[in-house]
Structure 1
Amino acid sequence: MKIRIQDKEFDTKEITQLYPAAVVKTGYKDETTQVSLEWLEVESKGKVEVVGFAIFVHLGEEKQHSFIFSTREEMDEEAGRIARQIQSSRA
Structure 2
Amino acid sequence: MIITIQEQQFDTADITQLYPAAVVKTGHEDETTQVSLEWLDVESKGKVDVVGFGIFLYLGEEEKHTFMFDTKEEMDREIGRIASQLQ
Shared topology, TM-score over 0.5?
A: yes
Q: How far is 1:7 from its partner?
A: 1.9
5+ unaligned residues in a row in structure 2: which ranges? none
In structure 1, the partner of 2:31 is 31
Q: Which amino acid aligns with 1:58?
A: Y
- Cα RMSD between the aligned structures? 0.4
User: Partners of 2:67 and 2:49 in 1: how far apart?
Assistant: 19
Structure 1 ranges of 4+ moved more than 4 A: none
Q: How far is 1:44 from its partner?
A: 0.6
In structure 2, the partner of 1:67 is 67
Per-residue CA deviations over 1:17-47 (Å, capped at 9, x if unaligned) read 0000000000000000000000000111111
Residue correspondences, number:
87
In structure 2, the partner of 1:10 is 10
In structure 2, the partner of 1:46 is 46
> TM-score, structure 1 length as denominator?
0.94
Q: Which amino acid aligns with 1:80?
A: G
SS in 2 for 1:48: coil
SS in 2 for 1:24: strand
> TM-score, structure 2 length as denominator?
0.99
Greater share of residues in strand:
2
5+ unaligned residues in a row in structure 1: which ranges? none
